[in-house]
Structure 1
Amino acid sequence: METLGPEAWQAVALSLRVALVATLASVPPGLAVAYLLARRRFPGHALLNGLVHLPLILPPVVTGYLLLLSFGRQGPLGALLWDWFGVTLAFRWTGAALAAAIMAFPLLVRAIRLALEAVDPKLEEAAATLGASRARVFLTITLPLILPGLLAGALLGFAKAMGEFGATITFVSNIPGETRTIASAIYAFLQIPGGERAALALVGVSVALSMGALLVSEWLARRVARRVAGQ
């Protein structure tokens, strides 16, 4: 790690910031979408499912370009954000967080949806027959039961956001101190003579952080599952 300079550690710190913001912003809509897909049947169900999983099958560069077209200063959504709130996402770290959130969203939704589908609906029906409202049933019965899946999905999404590159560099470029995450810093180091050692060190940091997130995800999921089961 001694080969890492201030610029490299800045990229590590920015990656952690981007991944954390992306994950926290993704959980509420991810939970809502997963609930719709798992418990509701409506016109457009298959279309919604396809849109959610689209970032997994599209080339990340395509996703980034679509974000640039939509959220750039001249894009329809970007122009609205600028005119109404004075906010711009393109070429900013907040845009990197948006790109990372979109790329991680399918993994988050998938984990929560599987957890919801594993819950026995009869438990929720029994609580409803005792007079509990739908919101109370969800908060007191459903949410505790799916908590292991929600935590696992959030940490899996965090790990994915940490390693995002294609959509991020297309949407927000590779600006040191502003949008240069670990992945784009590795790319930048490999473009200059003698940058291989710094790139390799960042690869080690990236692997360690991603594996750490996955291991913590597994540990938390098992711990919460045992607590829910009353063990």
Structure 2
Amino acid sequence: MRRRRTRNRAPWVLLPLAAVGVAFIVLPLVALLQRTPWGDLGRLLGDPVVTDALRLSLVSALVATVLSLLVGVPLAWVLARTDFPGRAVVRALVTLPMVLPPVVGGAALLFAFGRRGLLGEPIYDGTGFLLPFSLWGVIAANTFVAMPFLVITVEAGLRSADERYEDAAATLGASRWTIFRRITVPNAMPAVLAGAVLCWARALGEFGATVTFAGNLQGRTQTMPLAVFLALESDRDAAIALSLVLIAVSLAVLIPLRDRWLR
């Protein structure tokens, strides 16, 4: 018991620094709450701009997370468990959207999937399907910027997992697909869950790539961050109300799941 208390007792110099870090995060939120027009909050939240933006944000973030899981988990497994020439380059390219300015990412998506883009032009000429300035354009932008958060989280989980269970299953005759489905994924599930939540949160707050690639059309491509930015120029109370909704939705997901990540 004494060893546990000693181990958990922080050096005194860390406490004020930690307090400064908490204050730096909390103070802007307190300022936002202090400026909130509580009396008009119900009317502001019932505005069609708010409801449309919230619906689009939740739908696009959810679909982007599902798509990221579909391709990101296999990609994380390849990066964590296989050795091939150029793996470091592939990992750098996969994580590039994390540090790339979102507007640059949106421009790159436009040059790739736009009407005159590298892949977008033949798709449009053959099918008439146009990805930019549509809900699918929002989803594409969200997936582009958010999937790296899932990939690096799952890759770290796979690297730290004990591979002896997989080796034992292989010696007993289990196929590689069975090992992946029955052992690898369940063992990495905490990392998968954490990566999915981080991916969803990043997609929910995406702004730059979305406005560049999908535009800012109410009811069609205008997500919550875009609506906040637009409202700051015309209706600050509405911008505050939209910000509160984003904060509330994010906290409602992050707080209950945080302890599960740590366990």
Same fold (TM over 0.5): yes
Which residue number corresponds to residue 187 of structure 2? Answer: 145
Q: Is the 8 A contact 1:34 1:109 kept in 2?
A: yes
Residue 210 of structure 1: how far off its partner (Å):
1.5
Structure-2-length-normalised TM-score: 0.81
Which residue number corresponds to residue 57 of structure 1? Answer: 99
2:247 counterpart of 1:210: no
Q: After superposition, give the CA deviation of every residue in 1:36-68 in whole Å (9 maximum; x if it has no partner).
A: 110011111011101111011111100001111
Residue 173 of structure 1: how far off its partner (Å):
1.1
Which residue number corresponds to residue 15 of structure 1? Answer: 57
Q: Is the 8 A contact 1:189 1:196 kept in 2?
A: yes
Residue 220 of structure 1: how far off its partner (Å):
4.8
Which residue number corresponds to residue 236 of structure 2? Answer: 196
Q: Is the 8 A contact 1:68 1:90 kept in 2?
A: yes
AA matched with 1:200: I
Aligned residues with identical type, % of pairs: 43
Name the CA shift for 1:216/1:110 in 2 (closer, same or farther; >3 Å): farther
For residue 136 of structure 1, the aligned residue among 174, 178, 189 is: 178
AA matched with 2:149: L
Give the secondary structure class of the aligned counterpart of 2:119.
Answer: helix
Unaligned runs of 5+ in 1: 226-231
CA separation in 2, counterparts of 1:219 and 1:209?
18
Q: After superposition, give the CA deviation of every residue in 1:106-126 in whole Å (9 maximum; x if it has no partner).
A: 111011111111211111111
Structure-1-length-normalised TM-score: 0.92
Give the secondary structure class of the aligned counterpart of 1:89.
Answer: coil
AA matched with 2:245: V
CA separation in 2, counterparts of 1:177 and 1:147?
35
Which residue number corresponds to residue 102 of structure 1? Answer: 144
Q: Is the 8 A contact 1:33 1:109 kept in 2?
A: yes
Which residue number corresponds to residue 91 of structure 1? Answer: 133
Q: How many residues get paired?
A: 221
AA matched with 2:224: I
Residue 215 of structure 1: how far off its partner (Å):
2.1
AA matched with 2:258: E
AA matched with 1:211: L
Which residue number corresponds to residue 13 of structure 2? Answer: none
